[in-house]
Amino acid sequence: MKTFIISVFTFLFCTVLSAQQALWDRPQTSSPQINEDNSVTFRLHAPKAVKVMVTGDFLPAEGIAKEDVPQTAEMNETNGVWEYTTKPLASELYSYTFIVDGLRILDPNNVYINRDVASTMNIFIVGGGQGDWYKVNDVVHGSVSKVWYESPATGLTRRMTVYTPAGYEKNRKQKYPVLYLLHGAGGDEEAWMDLGRTSQILDNLIAEGKAEPMIVVMPNGNAGEVAAPGEGPDGFRIPGFEQKGMMDGAYEMAFPDIMNYIESNYRVYKDKKHRAIAGLSMGGYHSLHISKYYPDRFDYVGLFSAAARFHEGSESPVYQNELQQIETQFANPPALYWIAIGKTDFLYEENVMLRRHFDEKGYPYEYYESEDGHIWRNWREYLTIFVPRLFK
């Protein structure tokens, strides 16, 4: 029976597997390559292509929603390999795709892919600055869980993402504050994790002592939707912007179901002082309305490029007597009401008007204005600014 005892097998085993890998047709070019000067080289092996371009948010933007439509750059071909090198880039997380004879494709050499609604894009990080907050660094890490909670208000069992900070499992007597972090239209319970790099940002801010250890709850803000595309019983559907129960009051009314689940299943403080709520775009709208409709619950409110609208005329109790709701909220004002938006955001004017009202009434808030518009680069940055302000 000794015949099947193989002493030196690693070589054989790896040979077989490497053969398989080669057969899987992975191209031999390297892309993207981050160079020493922080320029980035993209390569694509496509000898039969006539014209190849790269497009991504490292290029200047153009067009009507200009922040979302970066320019394209032509790549040059040598021996069947198309190549383009950027100028040195600021430290950031970037996304890109190739356009081969008019067909938009992902980089076959890069397995790192983000989905934004129905668009997929490759990503890379240039380090040495802001981008370092988005990297997995050599620090202790929190856990990230996808959990299902019962929501009697919607009649559904729904999925959400929960980040618990490093040490949560060990420090069994410690209680934690909670940040509820809400996505925008077209998003879901995956968006802040994947596009927003939330767990990396929290791990890094906490490890550097810049933020308090906290639990971050990332629910699904489409009240009629059970889970993100592909994660619910409606199968591998095409993701879209329009879902049921986005901005009709249903989500705000059902929000206590989320809080109940968290406060029943995690070691958290259950008072206003230890609760924050923030969101981007539609999630900013939700944060505005949830924090005013439940005026005694949240001591920290963050509106990131918010759809900063009231909604009078709707039948939902969330939208009745809205100005009075805000008046009540600010009778005992939040420790921090933080409004941030980019200069070219299509929601800029709404935020001007909201701030004008707050100014007229003397409601305390802080305002942060960034460059550019309605883009994830801003929302990731806002998170790195907002989180260190919480629970202190």
Range 209-228, binding a second copy (CB under 8 A): 227
Q: Cα dist. 312→254, 296, 316, 317, 325 in Å?
A: 19, 22, 9, 10, 12
Pick the closest to residue 85 from 41, 52, 45 (CA basis).
41
Are 52 and 82 in contact by the 8 Å Cβ rule? The answer is: yes
Residue 185 binding a second copy, by CB under 8 A = yes
By CB under 8 A, the residues from 65 to 84 that bind a second copy are 65, 68-69
Contact positions with a second copy (CB under 8 A) in 233-272:
233, 235-236, 238-242, 247, 265
Q: Is 353 in the site for a second copy (CB under 8 A)?
A: yes
Nearer residue to a second copy within complex by CB, 4 or 392: 4
Q: Which stretch binds a second copy (CB under 8 A): 23-31, 216-224, 270-278, 335-343?
A: 23-31
* Residue 362 binds a second copy (CB under 8 A): no
The answer to whether the Cα torsion of 17, 18, 24, 30 is positive or negative is positive
336 - beta bridge partners?
300
Give the residue with the Cβ less far from a second copy, 272 or 357.
357
- 186 belongs to the binding site for a second copy (CB under 8 A): yes
Q: Which of 309, 365, 385, 388 binds a second copy (CB under 8 A)?
A: 309
Nearer to a second copy, 103 or 331 (CB): 103
Here the tokens at position 241 are: 């912007």
Nearer to a second copy, 121 or 300 (CB): 121
Q: How far is CA 328 from CA 72, 87, 248, 277, 325, in A?
A: 50, 52, 22, 17, 5
Does residue 60 touch a second copy according to CB under 8 A?
no
Binding range to a second copy, per CB under 8 A, among 100-108, 207-215, 295-303, 362-370: 100-108
Binding track, positions 106-145, relative to a second copy; x by CB under 8 A: x-xxxxxx-xxxxxx--xxx---------xxxx-xxxxxx
Rounded to whole angstroms, the Cα distance separating 374 from 288 reads 18
Q: What is the DSSP secondary structure assignment for residue 131, as one 8-state letter?
A: G
In whole angstroms, the minimum distance from the beta carbon of 65 to a second copy comes to 5
Alpha-carbon distance values, 177 to 99, 180, 264, 356, 383 (Å): 46, 10, 14, 31, 16
Please name the amino acid found at residue 193: M
Residue closer to a second copy by CB (options 107, 381) is 107
